[in-house]
Structure 1
């Protein structure tokens, strides 16, 4: 009894012959009309731009990559490779609206995280404009004064020239920040409430930062890329306001 040979998916010709087997053991076919080689019911399929857009939006929510792959019924390996390339291209510099040279108020804080295991601590240092709520400085590194200094240097020049900076009493800040512009305050003052609230937002939206999770990063570059990706989205989504009540 002869076995029906499938039509060519490219030109729909029925002039198709068997052409060996793939490395996975599936029967391979070749079309004599257009030369296309194919298998029946292929597992591989082209990922549409629409699906990529959905993935980009899901990466901004508290979802692991395996969950995204399951929800969209695509390969987890493909999602990981897509994310690797996406995070490699993410810009590592804040994008903020232009500011006039006038008194500015910045709140700073640091957020604990880790990569691969809890022994590899990576602290997320953040600076926030108290008026516009924009994230105006970011650095990811250790918990030292050198990291605090790098956070300071990551601020746009107008902030380094004009801003008064409020932080907690962590010893790295007085070493790294100009003494005339730095104010160490307690939580009861409310002077760091906006940055502390953003820390909570970041933990709730970036699955790699959730304290009890299996979504932690195994690669530092992706860890940094995921945080920067969310921060760019966050800044872009803020309303254009000139000032907010403190």
Structure 2
């Protein structure tokens, strides 16, 4: 009978109370520590992903590059990257956070942007509202293109915007039934009063690969679509805070 390797020591707690626990994809034996539960491989082929690489991945997720592309650039395994991104995006809050109290007259621009999940007839609309002065996203809702979604967008605004902001929108009827008439003006694109929100829509499509109309990076699951968009919303506002 072959002797067990002497290196069977848990890398987390240094306990020698470890047992065999199957093998990994390349056939190497896998062990589990009975003290802390850590699973490990002796002399692993792939080293742990550094904090620096993880921070790079966090930034690349805000650019128009697919997960396969990120795996190639950072030279991490595809399976590890999938797990890392899924865990990170699952923690992203689905509510806009505004730092500091907005000053002066509050003016917002609202618009809805078409996208799809899995197939193009499965339409998903991204409803956005931005503060004209700060350019920050102050409201966001992802759903269909109905009055209910327009209401959800308005409800996503911070209370101070709901109470006093003046809103510019396009001619989509749903806005008329949700925004207070005295604080709402419907305008065409040629006037230029919704230029900022139109430019933001373009920014989304330029930097979120799954929103490109002709792309292989489209979302296959609705939940992943939500998470990726909300990740970009928070990242976009954070960039403005650093300016």
Q: Does the pair score TM above 0.5?
A: yes
CA distance in 1, matches of 2:226, 2:30: 45
Could you say what secondary structure the match of 1:152 adopts? helix
Task: Check if 1:90 corresponds to 2:92.
Answer: yes
- Tell me the residue number matched to 2:219: 217
| 8 Å Cα contact 1:113/1:123 also seen in 2 | yes
> Kindly tell me: are residues 37 and 108 of structure 1, through their superposed partners in 2, closer, same or farther at Cα, counting changes over 3 Å?
closer
Task: Check if 1:26 corresponds to 2:48.
Answer: no
> Kindly tell me: are residues 174 and 49 of structure 1, through their superposed partners in 2, closer, same or farther at Cα, counting changes over 3 Å?
same
| 8 Å Cα contact 2:115/2:211 also seen in 1 | yes
Per mean C-alpha deviation after superposition, the further-off stretch among 215-224 and 133-142 is 215-224
What displacement does 1:103 show? 2.6
- Tell me the residue number matched to 1:50: 52
Could you say what secondary structure the match of 1:238 adopts? helix
- Tell me the residue number matched to 2:127: 125
| 8 Å Cα contact 1:88/1:221 also seen in 2 | no
Q: How does 1:61-140 map to 2 (within 5 A)?
A: 61-96=63-98, 97-100=100-103, 102-140=104-142
- Tell me the residue number matched to 2:230: 228
> Kindly tell me: are residues 27 and 98 of structure 1, through their superposed partners in 2, closer, same or farther at Cα, counting changes over 3 Å?
closer
What displacement does 1:211 show? 1.1
What displacement does 1:45 show? 3.0
CA distance in 2, matches of 1:27, 1:222: 33
Q: 1:34-53 CA distances to partner (integer Å, 9 max, x unpaired)?
A: xx98566x444312221111
Larger radius of gyration: 1
Between Structure 1 and Structure 2, how many residues are aligned? 221
Q: How does 1:111-190 map to 2 (within 5 A)?
A: 111-190=113-192
> Kindly tell me: are residues 165 and 28 of structure 1, through their superposed partners in 2, closer, same or farther at Cα, counting changes over 3 Å?
closer
CA distance in 2, matches of 1:38, 1:94: 42
| 8 Å Cα contact 1:169/1:185 also seen in 2 | yes
> Kindly tell me: are residues 39 and 114 of structure 1, through their superposed partners in 2, closer, same or farther at Cα, counting changes over 3 Å?
same
> Kindly tell me: are residues 8 and 154 of structure 1, through their superposed partners in 2, closer, same or farther at Cα, counting changes over 3 Å?
same
What displacement does 1:26 show? 3.3
> Kindly tell me: are residues 72 and 37 of structure 1, through their superposed partners in 2, closer, same or farther at Cα, counting changes over 3 Å?
closer
Q: 1:179-214 CA distances to partner (integer Å, 9 max, x unpaired)?
A: 111111001111100000000001111111111111
Unaligned runs of 5+ in 1: 1-5, 12-18, 31-35, 242-246
CA distance in 1, matches of 2:45, 2:121: 39
